[in-house]
Structure 1
Amino acid sequence: MARKKSTAAKTPPADIGLIGLAVMGQNLILNMADHGYTVAVYNRTSSKVDDFIASAKASEPSAGRLVGCKSLKKFVSSIKRPRKIVLLVKAGWATDATIESVVPYLEKGDIIIDGGNALWTDTIRREQELTAKGLRFIGSGVSGGETGARFGPSLMPGGSKEAWKELEPIWKAISAKVDRKTGRPIEVDTPGQVAKGGEPCTVHIGENGAGHYVKMVHNGIEYIDMQLICEAYMLMKNLLGMKPDAMSEVFAGWNEGDLDSYLIEITADILQQKDPMNKRRFLVDSVLDTAGQKGTGKWTSTSALDLGIPANAIAEAVFARCLSAIKEERVSASKQLRGPKAPRLPMSKAKAIEAIREALYCSKICAYAQGFQLMAEAAREYDWKLDFGKIAKIFRGGCIIRARFLQKITEAYKADRRLQNLMLDPYFKKALHGGQGNWRSVVTMATNAGVPIPAFSSALAYFDGYRTAVLPANLLQAQRDYFGAHTFERTDKPRGQFFHVDWPEPGRPISKS
């Protein structure tokens, strides 16, 4: 007697799905598979699915957990309910188009996770639109580049807590891990290998666009962090006449101390690399001095302007990239505009290197202070409840700005959850007081020699401006009242009372509004 075929519905095989097979998407898929999750895979260009699956089978131990799908219908039906679908496509219109194409196949309660570098206001809008359709939406920052996506990124999810609970086990499994006692990253760099123990570098950031906002500020901090390192490099090159391999040794030494970070580490590595096309040169000397950008640094600066937060060092890092882009103009100007004659170095080379190190560290403190101050103001603006200690924690591993320094920020906010500015924490205040002498010497040396260090200089201006009780804005406000009757407050009256005077005839009585 023939056995009857079972009519019971088969359980979909995939725990989660991902759309978008650029390098970040591929690596995140393999990361999830390494951690035991079966992943449905879809790309608009179906040949990419075939190529990716074939490549994974040839080299990846977890390739058996990948489910290649040629159609959106098959892709969605292959994922367990409530479905969790990660999008790793270009931010903007491409994200909207992908959401629009997948929504008709979804059911109430399914979750879309946008892992791209989305503008946070787009994330707020998308969540509202999808909530109206009975769907859930998470905007999650993903930081760490290709290697981070493969072996453990820092993940910054924003959205409802209910949606986060569904995603939390997967995000905690695949995120970078740090040692619970020291905060140091637990390194993983082999396919199939997973970090055991440790604290995951992910946490629920807040509602709607909070995750993408924090990721954006992370990128803004990344801009200034990189610019500061580049200025330290330029000072050693132009003032001290050091060669790349000698600078590499300096950066490697700095990476053993307070400046220990991923960006310092890779800088040391970059500076010792010989040019494969000309072995007598270092590769860094063959790289054209024009920097690209994808927009998140500009978004951070624009948001700071909109919210009235003085993130001048972050903005200066964006402008430095813009200035680098006008290469031909700079080359022409260099033949017409003269700078100062190179002055004699006022200290020994060893002392100058130490001064640059301290200037870099102090500037870094100011840059992070600006980033966290901006997040605090955004939290008030958008009614987010951001925990800055937890945010600093998840920056310690996986992400581009990961650094030993972030353990100190974690401790600062643990000691004082209401810390008004990072510079006011006892540890950072002591570091700024101890390092400002060398910091000022470096800015002076660079200025006298005509070496542009906009990030060092703007960070110092921020420090001096923040610690100054009386700024010249009294004259500025008087000017505004003179030409535009914009009114002013008085030092001898309560805040909130505004006055105007007819300046051309100062004898006339003051009017109060």
Structure 2
Amino acid sequence: MQEHHYFVCGYTVSEASRLRAAAEEIEVYESIDLMLDRLEKQKIIWLTLPAGEVTENIVQELMNQLSSDDIIIEAGNSYYKDSVRRAKAAKEKGIHYIDCGTSGGQSGARTGPCLLVGGDQVVCQELEPFFKSIAYENGNLYCGNSGSGHYVKTVHNAIEYGMMEAIGEGFHLLEASDYPFDLAAIANVFNNGSVIRSWLIQLAHDALVEDSNLEQIRGIVGSTPDAKWAVQEAMDKGISVPIIANSLFIRNDSQMEDIFSIKVVAALRNGFGGHGVVKK
């Protein structure tokens, strides 16, 4: 945002994060009060926090301090029904609550993320130049009313679960074969002209170059609520989503078993999102 000539200041409880921000000449404060005092009207708050209680608490604190026509852009992975509820509560105070599903991982934060925006159409149209300027080229979309941005992001993450599981299973089959395959070389050739070329395949290649048989990590992968929400939504609508559901269940199984396909999934998550891996 700062690189696109927007004034940015922030709040975090992490002293290390404040020091890193200061090195980039970004003002970051240790309290929400100080941050809000630094902002002029109209205040626009970009909120990126883990879904659940921490987001709920910060949103409530912001809504108690912001004024009419201020804007909260909630860019985490919240449950879409929570976003609908928060938008309704914010509207009662004259505050605009925009849900913004954000994808692209750590690199996207620097080179341009994919933004999936939901909320009041007039407000989102006013924010469109901002979203377009910080997003990847053609990487922002107004999805609809409140909750729609986080709904689309939930489905995005559920698809991601299935794709990573398929890549993991494929490389598990290659690793278990009777041929002495160079898995990194296969990942590389897959990413040059093949139907399955993708960033995830590139991340698989990078991980296998660093550790050819992923011997340094354990096949343990955590799960976030996104796939669970997607499976529940599918059940509510009577839609079959076996690949998404099984990819979630396999992650649960990974807490007990150490298998190669899950090592690949763990390496992919670490590659795009910086999610931790369990080292041997």
Structures share fold, TM-score greater than 0.5? yes
Match of 1:148 in 2: 108
Rg larger for: 1
Equivalent residue, structure 2, for 1:237: 175
TM normalised by structure 1 equals 0.48
Greater relative contact order: 1 or 2 (C-alpha under 8 angstroms, separation 6 or more)? 2
Q: Deviations over 1:6-31 (max 9, x none)?
A: xxxxxxxxxxxxxxxxxxxxxxxxxx
Distance 1:131 1:91 in 2: 21
Question: Aligned residue for 2:150?
Answer: 212
Following superposition, the deviation at residue 68 of structure 1 comes to 3.1
Mapped partners of 1:308, 1:144: distance in 2: 30
Q: Say whether residues 1:228 and 2:158 are aligned partners.
A: no
Structure 2 residue identity aligned to 1:306? D
- Give, as a single letter, the amino acid of the residue that structure 2 aligns with 1:55: A
**Given the alignment, which residue of 183, 207, 232 partners 1:302?**
232
Query: CA shift at 1:248, angstroms?
Result: 1.5
Asked whether the equivalents of residues 84 and 167 of structure 1 are also in contact (C-alpha less than 8 Å), the reply is no
Secondary structure, counterpart of 2:72 in structure 1: strand
Whether the aligned pair in 2 keeps the contact of 1:155 and 1:202 (CA below 8 Å) is yes
1:48 CA displacement: 4.7
Q: Which residue of the other structure, out of 226, 251, 265, is the alignment partner of 2:187?
A: 251
Q: Which residue in the other structure is 1:263 paired with?
A: 200
Is this contact kept in 2: 1:91–1:117, CA < 8 A?
A: yes
2:249 alignment counterpart: 319
CA shift, 1:171, in A, is 1.4
| Cα distance in 2 between the residues matched to 1:112 and 1:215 | 18
Q: Which amino acid aligns with 2:5?
A: G
Cα distance in 2 between the residues matched to 1:50 and 1:320: 38
Q: Secondary structure at the match of 1:205?
A: strand
Equivalent-residue separation in structure 1 for 2:179 and 2:151 (angstroms): 41
Instruction: Tell me by how many angstroms 1:164 deviates.
Output: 0.9
The one-letter amino acid paired with 2:39 is I
8 Å contact kept, 2:22–2:28: no
- Aligned partners of 1:241 and 1:130: how far apart in 2? 60
Q: Could you tell me which residue of structure 2 aligns to residue 39 of structure 1?
A: 8
Superposed CA offset, 1:222-277 (max 9, x none): 0000000011101111134444xx12112211111221210011111211214xxx
Partner of 1:55: 23
Contact 1:273/1:283 (<8 A) preserved: no
Alignment match, 2:275: none
TM-fit CA distance, 1:286? 2.6
Question: Aligned partners of 1:293, 1:111: CA distance in 2, in Å?
Answer: 31
1:322 match: secondary structure: helix
**Amino acid corresponding to residue 203 of structure 2 in structure 1:** I
Q: Confirm or deny that 1:117 pairs with 2:77.
A: yes
Q: Distance in 1 between matches of 2:37 and 2:175?
A: 58
CA distance in 2, matches of 1:327, 1:256: 33
The answer to whether the Cα contact below 8 Å between 1:159 and 1:206 also exists between their aligned partners in 2 is yes
The residue number in structure 1 matching 2:126 is 166
Partner letter of residue 91 of structure 1?
Answer: A
State the shift of 1:35 in Å: 1.1
CA drift at 1:147? 1.3
Which of 60, 65, 70 is the aligned partner of 1:105?
65
How has the CA–CA distance of structure 1 residues 237 and 283 changed in structure 2, closer, same or farther, with 3 Å as cutoff? closer
**Which letter maps to 1:216?**
T
Task: Name the CA distance, whole Å, in 2 between partners of 1:175 and 1:297.
Answer: 24
Question: What does the per-residue CA deviation read over 1:254-311, in whole Å, with 9 as the maximum and x for residues that have no partner?
Answer: 111221210011111211214xxxxxxx361232112211221122112111111111
CA distance in 2 between partners of 1:141 and 1:50 (Å):
25
Partner secondary structure for residue 42 of structure 2 = coil
Judged with a 3 Å threshold, the aligned counterparts in structure 2 of structure 1 residues 232 and 326 are, in CA distance, closer, same or farther, namely: same
SS of the residue aligned with 1:103?
helix
Question: May I ask how many residue pairs the two structures share in their alignment?
Answer: 259
Residue 327 of structure 1 aligns to a residue whose secondary structure is: coil
Q: What are the ranges of 5 or more consecutive residues in structure 2 without an aligned counterpart?
A: 260-271, 273-280
- Report if the CA contact (8 A) 1:83-1:111 is conserved: yes
Which residue of the partner structure matches residue 48 of structure 2? 88
Q: 3-state SS of the aligned residue for 2:73?
A: strand
What letter matches 2:249 in structure 1?
Answer: F
User: What is the CA–CA distance in structure 2 between the aligned matches of 1:226 and 1:164, rounded to whole Å?
Assistant: 32
CA distance in 1, matches of 2:63, 2:13: 15
2:223 paired with 1:293: yes
The RMSD of aligned alpha carbons is 1.9
127-136 or 250-259: bigger deviation: 250-259
How far apart in 2 are the matches of 1:69 and 1:272? 40
The whole-number CA distance in structure 1 between the counterparts of 2:20 and 2:126 is 27
C-alpha contact 1:49 1:69 (8 A) present in aligned 2: no
CA contact (8 A) 1:41 1:49 kept: no
Secondary structure at 1:292 match in 2: coil
Pairs within 5 Å for 1:70-89:
70-89=30-49
Gaps of 5+ in 1: 1-31, 57-62, 178-199, 275-281, 331-399, 401-513
